[in-house]
Chain A
Amino acid sequence: MEIHAYEKLWLGAALLLIVGFIATVSYGAIGAGVEMIDDEGGTVDPQALDEHPQFSEPGVYQSGPNEYEVYVIARQFAFQPGTGEPIRVPADSTVTFHVTSADVIHGFEVVGTNANTMAVPGQISTFTVEVEGPKEYGLLCNEYCGSAHHAMEGTMKVVPEDEFNASATAGGA
């Protein structure tokens, strides 16, 4: 097959670009430690969330020094916690989210950050983020979930550590 000289050059450059992209993603996963949401969160019966040890009382749990676990249920058309009361986590900590849905597919997005996941009924999305100084974030559902989808929102408050200890109730938020 005849491949012209410039075509060969272009082909080589294109392959180099592709391999380069794969390399940067691999570096992100291995070097920088950006993990994907995967199947580690496990499954849950979406019709029996009230029998689940954590989702029966969704909220913020301390799991270690500066480490917190947040259990969130998304349902038409609210996050629990998040909508009725903000998700409150202390500044400069490591926060692991566990997000599931009680009905349809929702999105869970902390606006302007890369904390973003799908909430699929029956599945638990688990991901860990490092939170920094005190700040208030918007929270929204970014997957169409029904007639009032546009009203499904909430807030996440990163509060100073001493304030968090003062306000958090044992075991929940």
Chain B
Amino acid sequence: MATFVDRYPDEAAVVKACLTVSFTALAIGAFFGLVQALHRTDYFRFISSVDYYTVLTGHGVLLALVFTIFFLVGLFTWAVVQSLERPMPDIRLTWAWFGLTTTGAVFAAVAILAGLIPSIDMSADVLYTFYAPLQAHPLFYIGLAMFIVGTWLAGADWFLAYRDWRGDNPDERIPLQTFMVLTTMLMWYLSTLGVAVSVVVFLIPWSFGLVETVNPLLTRTLFWYFGHPVVYFWLMPAYLMWYTVLPKLAGGRLFSDPLARVVFVLFLLLSTPVGIHHQYLDPGIAEGFKFIAMTNTMFLLLPSLLTAFTVVASVEHGARQRGGKGYIKWLGALPWRDPAFTGMALAGAMFAAGGFSGMINAGMNINYLIHNTLWVPGHFHLTVGTAVALTMMAGSYWLVPQLTGKRLYSRPIGLLQVVMWFVGMVFMSNAMHRAGLVGIPRRTAEPQYQSFDFNAVIGTVGELQAQIALGGTLLFLSVVLFVFNILLSAIEDPIENPVDDSLPAPLSGASGSPRVLDDLRLWTAIAVVLVILAYTLPLASIVGDAGWFGNVPGVPVWVSANVEALGDLLREVVA
């Protein structure tokens, strides 16, 4: 049977374009990661500690937003088309959102990278979180806004495809992959409202000088209103692959379709009303609201724990289909030579470890000890940096041949690559967690301070630095291998059936689940109510303290005469 590119050549072209942007961002972002790992551990320095923050901003934005989300929009387009078994309703709309998201990403990247070139009067080293009143160049905020609107249009495109399908299939259950895409996008619409309001209403006018002041706690809270759900936005494509692709690679099929739906509904309900857990140590937010965010966060463990069960059960089923026996010995029957399988399986294992350190972060009171220390990047390099990124890279070894009709250039290199990522992350992330416990901060360019030393509880701080530098180097080399393997695959000759792209039906199918699970309106309404409960009062109190536009002037990380002139022009237009 023909593969995806033969059946849907137009859609395959868009997905390929998405992955191209995604992997380009990955390559640049990974290089920045290497620069950071060597700079802040003092092993090799060729930039100034001031430029470190430009590199750090680039690393965060290019990897956490551009790499992950472009992979997501590509994967989701593939998933909708192949699970609804029909092309996109209007491919021009599909290209339009691709164009808008890409332009936005390029704008933000230009604003950041210009910071490295002194002759260009532009910079945006405000880090991934862009907390006001540190002020970036307007192009950075405009790029972010365009990027987000682009993802909204992508979601609209998938909903239109679903509506067309529903017209022809009024009584069928939503195909699982499309169900996952739609619930994820509903969560995304709900959660990006916060960052969109922050950027469009407050930060863009303020960066042009149209309003003088900002309310830092308000924009920070609106950021985290989006900043935690975005974590699940990264994670959902990985979940989609763990549920629908990994069991097949293991030699079996998904264990339970209904439970997979329950998990995605839980993410829709609980992802957004938790952002305040990033603000446990913020003044101006009452303890009660922090407690609500904490309980919601803890209940958000449930879908991940359910996923651990279902995915492991599905993989075990696959192993037994392949002749695996015993309580533990079945693990040996799995296809460990397949980089797509091994990469995803290792990613899942690291996600379990990241889940445990995440429980510490979520614990309102023990959070005091690790807040803003290296523990935090240690944690999210396990979740987004491994569970998500490694699943995306490993999944590409299976996905890309369907989009190109060409075989993967080298499976052994792929295998080396995913194992190298795993090993690199074991070194880097465990050292970061331990460094955080002794109080070493995150987001700083220097390994030590003038007037005090850090005391490692076990081992030495020097050993922790060495592990971070070694791990960072292995991770960078792993990305180099990945990018070359994909590039070389792209110039292979097309072959018949480059990969087995069929997905078997689940053991327990959708028919066994209650129909109410497919009632997206109901779940969206409940999600909105939960958000209103969690956010109305704290936001009202923050606005009550300092007003919508606050009383804190901007502190530019960029200086420009041109932008002031542009601001004057805009003021005239508005007046």
- Among A2, A10, A25, A142, point to the contact of B305 (Cβ < 8 A): A10
Nearest A residue (CB) for B373: A142
Kindly specify which of B185-193, B203-211, B398-406, B450-458 makes contact with the partner chain.
B450-458
Other-chain contact of A22, B280, B295, B302, B446 (Cβ < 8 Å) = B295
**A2 contact set on B, CB distance < 8 A:** 256, 258, 508, 512
Segment at the B interface, from A50-58, A64-72, A144-152, A161-169: A144-152
Residue count of chain B within 8 Å CB distance of chain A: 79
Cβ-closest chain B residue relative to A29: B365
Which residues of A from 82 to 128 have beta carbons under 8 Å from B?
103-105, 107, 109, 111-118, 120-126
User: Is A131 on the interface with B (CB-CB < 8 A)?
Assistant: no
* B118 interfacial by beta-carbon distance below 8 Å: no
Q: Does A41 contact B (CB under 8 A)?
A: yes
| Complex CA distance for A117 and B439, rounded to whole angstroms | 13
Any A CB within 8 A of the CB of B215: yes
Question: How many CB-defined contacts (below 8 Å) exist between A and B?
Answer: 216
Does residue A170 face the partner (Cβ distance < 8 Å to B)?
Answer: no
Q: How far is the CA of A126 from the CA of B553 in the complex (A)?
A: 24
Cα of A127 to Cα of B125 in the assembled complex, Å: 31
List CB contacts (< 8 Å) of B287-304 with chain A. 287, 290-291, 294-295, 298-299, 301-302
B372 touches A109 (CB 8 A): yes
B302 contacts A144, C-beta separation under 8 Å: no
Picked from A7, A22, A28, A112, the residue with its CB within 8 Å of the CB of B298 is A22
Q: Count A-side interface residues using an 8 Å CB cutoff.
A: 69
Residue of A nearest to B294 (CB): A25
A62 beta carbon closer than 8 Å to chain B:
no
The answer to whether the Cβ of B217 comes within 8 Å of any Cβ in the partner chain is: yes
Q: Mark B190-223, 1 if CB is under 8 A from A, else 0.
A: 0000000000000000000000000111001000
What's the least CB distance linking B197 to chain A, in Å? 19
Partner of A39, one of B216, B286, B449, B455: B286
A87 to B555, CA, bound (A): 27
Say yes or no: is B565 at the interface (Cβ < 8 Å to chain A).
no
Min CB–CB distance A134 → chain B (angstroms): 15
Contact indicator B220/A120 (Cβ below 8 Å): yes
Output the least CB separation between A5 and chain B (Å). 12
- Closest-by-CB residue of B relative to A114 is B368
Q: Which residue of B lies closest to A105 (CB)?
A: B131
- Closest Cβ–Cβ distance, residue A103 to chain B (whole Å): 6
* CB–CB A137/B284 < 8 A: no
Which single residue of chain B is at the shortest CB-CB distance from A13?
A: B305
Q: Which A-B residue pairs are the 4 nearest by beta carbons?
A: A138-B452, A114-B368, A142-B372, A111-B439
18 contacts between A and B (CB under 8 A): A7-B256, A7-B259, A10-B305, A15-B302, A21-B298, A37-B282, A39-B545, A47-B552, A105-B131, A109-B439, A113-B439, A122-B550, A123-B284, A123-B545, A138-B449, A141-B441, A142-B441, A144-B53
Tell me the B residues contacting A by CB distance below 8 Å: 49-50, 52-53, 56, 125, 127, 131, 133-134, 215-217, 220, 255-256, 258-259, 279-287, 290-291, 294-295, 298-299, 301-302, 305-306, 309-310, 313, 359, 362-366, 368-369, 371-373, 438-439, 441-446, 449-455, 508, 512-514, 541, 545-546, 550-553, 555, 557
List residues of A whose CB falls within 8 A of some B CB.
1-4, 6-7, 10-11, 14-15, 17-18, 21-22, 24-25, 28-29, 32, 34-39, 41, 43, 45-47, 76, 103-105, 107, 109, 111-118, 120-126, 136-138, 140-151, 153-155
Known: A46-B552, A104-B133. 4 other contacts (CB 8 A): A17-B301, A103-B133, A142-B373, A145-B134
